[in-house]
Structures are given as structure tokens and as C-alpha cells.
Amino acid sequence: MILIMTVYGGMIILSLSQIRKNYQLHEVVPYEDLLQSEFTKPVSILVPAYNESAGIYGTIRSLLSIEYPEYEMIIINDGSTDDTLEKLFMRFKLVKINRVVRKQLDTKEVKGVYQSTIYPHLIVLDKENGGKADALNAGINCSKYPYFCSLDGDSIIERNAFLKVLKPIIESDDEVIASGGSVRIANGCDIQNGELVSIGLSHKPIVIMQVIEYLRAFLTGRVGLSKNNLLLIVSGAFGVFSKRWVVEAGGYAHTVGEDMELVVRLHRLIKEKKVNKKIIYVPDPVCWTEAPESIKFLRRQRKRWHRGLFDSLWKHKKLLFNPKYGSIGLFAMPYFFFIEFLGPLIELIGYIILIISIFTGSIYIEYALLFFILAFIYGSIYSMAAVLLEEWTMERYPKVKHLTILFFISLTETFWYRPLTVLWRVEGMVEMVIGKKGWGEMIRKGVSND
């Protein structure tokens, strides 16, 4: 516990200084200059879609309104069994075109390439089902620009998010090869035709806890790791990559955690080539995405995430404690293995021992209560630090009512939400041992009112 408190406490301090520094800079630097700059790099936006009928229209509408000088949208229909493709044809007047698709990465067969007669920069790939990684690789093959952004089919992007997430890439002279933005929970927000009208909170405690969890993961976790080029995760919901480096690394792998696995592989590649490249996180640009609203689907998501975490760590176990890979091998990989992966198992064992000790009478009650109070206070402080950091810098939740709800819900985490997520992550470890594969079904209701 001392180790975890030290690591997380250090991340909070790093995040606080870094976010505030960047925030003050962003207030001075006008992003509008990038709209006219000749150095602004064109980008291909890849949206893999498998049975995304409920949310795909809102996602595309939000992308059509972004502020960026030159971009193309490539929607990859990955063998959907619902009416995703039919909805795209109807809403955007698609026609079949003869477009050269460079086979840089192996993928399932592409059955057709279509272009919108309303929006010429909107391209739709129709391909056989091969999974999210396969769909993204097909999009990379079809893309024509040097940078691409991977975006989930149920996401809404703020207007200037691309200018902000690409700013470090534009200014780094190709030193930055990947940049990730923040992801927020869209449930409870008012979104009309792909446009974020007002920010709100869901009435469901399980969704509000995910809001707190996302704030904590992005604002205190990823900022701290990014500061020292230790970031091993760029969210698949919103990340920009150099196409040349991704192709050289072999593209997305067919794994449950394809986003993390690619980032670890990129780190490994740049260390082995001994070049000075960076993978960073930019806290300001925001992508709003739909979160599970039921225990059933949240449990399924967390089990999958934990299997994906181990998959990435196992594929690249060579990096663990290997000085050849610098701080990635000596700090980042051990952190993700011992704290993020093994942490839930150790915590569950602690719960079990505590329960057994109460019934056997072999527990020092005063010490146990003191330890529990310490854990409760620290966990609550850590969660609220993320919420206050968000309000202090980004001001995404301007209403006092929202901050009050987030504060009081965060105080309950220790009693119900954390034990549940610990149990689900350990279940993910069990599924990993028995060899379970696949994503599992996720029901979308869509975050945008068309």
C-alpha cells in the first residue's frame, strides 16, 4: 500500500504541475493560427464500425463539423449484421468508386469502397468481418494522409479537438509519433446531431463512478506517465498516429487490447532503432463516448480490458526489467504488471483474508479499522483530486451541482464500486488462464439524438 500511495501521489503532483502549465499556455496560444498554417498536417480519420447503427450517424455528424483544414473520414464497416451500412447509404448518398487500396497490412477482403456524393471527403469501406484491429488495418491501407486518427463508432468529438491533439505533432518536427486525447462519458449529456449542446451527468451511480474513474485515469495517470515518455496506452477511442511508424511496426495486432499492444510495440521499435521519438497524452482535447449503464455490460468490458492488459504485457515480456529499453523496461512495464495487472488479485486476497479473520477472531480490530480509514481517505482524496483538477483546468463540469454529486458518489467507491471492479478484473485473469477470446456483445443505445 505504501508503494501504491507513493506512485499515485507522485502522479498527482506531476499531473497538477503539467496540466496547469499547459493550460496556461493554451489560454495564450490561439489554435486558430493552425487552421491557416502550411505546417498543419492532413489527417485520415478511421472509424471502425461493427453493428454501430445506433451511434454512427451522430459520430459522423460531429466529424463533419470539426475545425481542421484538411482531413478525410474513412468509415470501415466490419461486416455489420445490423443496418449500419444501409443507414450510411441512406444518410450520406454513397456511390461505389475505384480507389487504389495499398496492401501495406494484411486484412480480410474489402468488398467495396464508397464515397459520399454530399461530402466528398467521406469514404466508406465495406469489408468482411475481421475484428477491430483488422478494420483499422484496412483503414490504414486505404488512407492517403501521413497521420491517422483512430476513433470509436460511438464517439462525439469537440470541434477543436483535432487542432489540440495534433498541435504537439505539428510543432515537434516529427519527434512525436503518437498523441492521445482525453475521453469523457457522454451519458447524461445533451448531444444533438453530433453536436455537444450541454454537459450533464447520468442519474445512474454506476455511470457517475465511471466518470470519476475516467477523470482519474486520464488526468492523474496518463499525464504523469506522458511527462516522462512512459505512456503505454493511447485510447482506441481517440488517438493520432504516424502512419509510417505504425506500418513499420506491423499495424494493429489481433488482440483484445489492440490499442495498448500497438503503443508498447511502438515504444519497443523506437528503443531498438535508438531514435528519439515520443508518444504523448494531451489532456485538453476531448472525445465523448458512451459508457455501459448496466452491471452486465460493465463487467464484460472490465474483464476484456484486463485480458487485453495481460495480452500486451505477455507479448512484450522481454521488456520487463530490461535496461536496454530504458525507463519503459525499468518503470513503465513493471508499473503496469505489478500495480495495474496483479494489484486486483492482491486486493481480492486481502478482502478474503479479512472476512476469514473476522470469523476466526484472528484480526487486530483497531489496526484493521485504522488501515481501512487510511485506504478510504486516500482513495477518496485521489478520486476528488482528479475531479478538482478537471474543474481547475478544463472546466468541463461547470455546475456546482455536478461537482457536488461527483464528490459524494466518489466517497462511496470503497464500499461497492472498487470491490466489484476488483472482482471483475480477477475474473478477467481467470478467463485469460482458460483461454477465453473475443470481445463479447455490447449493446449501444447511441449518445446523439439525430
Q: Strand 122-127 relative to strand 71-78: parallel, antiparallel, unpaired?
A: parallel
Tell me what pLDDT residue 237 has. Answer: 79
Residue 178: what pLDDT?
94
* Cα→Cα distances 111→94, 117, 216, 376, 438, Å: 14, 19, 42, 55, 24
Give the three-class secondary structure for 148: strand
The span from the CA of 158 to the CA of 160, in Å, is 6
**Residue 88, C-beta contacts closer than 8 angstroms, at least 6 positions apart:** 56, 75, 77, 94, 114, 124
The CATH fold of domain 2-297: Spore Coat Polysaccharide Biosynthesis Protein SpsA; Chain A (3.90.550)
Q: Is 71 helix (H, G, I), strand (E, B) or coil?
A: strand
The DSSP secondary structure of 205-249, one letter per residue, reads: HHHHHHHHHHHIIIIIIIHHHHHTT------TTEEEEEHHHHHHH
pTM recorded for the entire structure = 0.88
- Report how far residue 113's alpha carbon sits from residue 77's, in angstroms, rounded to the nearest whole number: 10
| H helix or E strand, kind and range, residue 6 | helix 2-28
Please check whether residue 333 is in contact with residue 309, taking contact to mean a CB–CB distance below 8 angstroms: no
E strand spans, 290-443: none
Specify the DSSP class assigned to residue 441: -
Q: Going residue by residue through the chain (450 aa), what tens digit of pLDDT does each one get?
A: 777 777 777 777 777 676 666 654 444 455 666 666 667 789 999 999 998 888 888 889 888 888 888 899 999 999 999 999 999 999 999 999 988 788 899 999 999 999 999 999 999 999 999 999 999 999 999 999 999 999 887 788 888 888 888 888 888 878 999 999 888 899 998 888 777 888 889 999 999 999 988 888 877 777 778 878 889 988 877 889 999 999 999 999 988 888 899 999 999 999 999 999 999 988 776 888 889 999 999 999 999 999 999 999 999 999 999 999 999 999 999 999 998 999 999 989 988 988 888 888 788 888 888 888 887 777 777 777 777 777 666 667 777 888 888 888 888 888 899 899 999 999 999 998 888 766 556 566 655 555
How far apart are alpha carbons 173 and 150 in whole angstroms?
22
Residue 238 main-chain phi, psi, to 5 deg: -165, 95
What are the strands, taking DSSP E only, across 249-353? 278-289
C-alpha 22: how far from its chain's center? 21
Contact by Cβ (8 Å): 148, 240: yes
Predicted local distance difference test score (pLDDT) of residue 440: 58
Q: Dihedrals φ, ψ of 396, to 5°? A: -80, -25
Angle between helices 205-215 and 365-393 (to 10 degrees): 70
CA distance 44 to 140: 8
Determine the Cα–Cα distance for residues 189 and 197; give it in Å rounded to an integer. 8
Listed in sequence order, the residues at least 6 apart from 24 whose beta carbon sits closer than 8 Å to its beta carbon are none
For the chain, how many residues are written? 450
- In the three-class reduction of DSSP (H, G, I as helix; E, B as strand; rest coil), residue 185 is classed as strand
Residue-range domain boundaries for the chain = 2-297
Q: What distance in Å separates the CA atoms of residue 242 and residue 235, rounded to the nearest whole number? A: 15
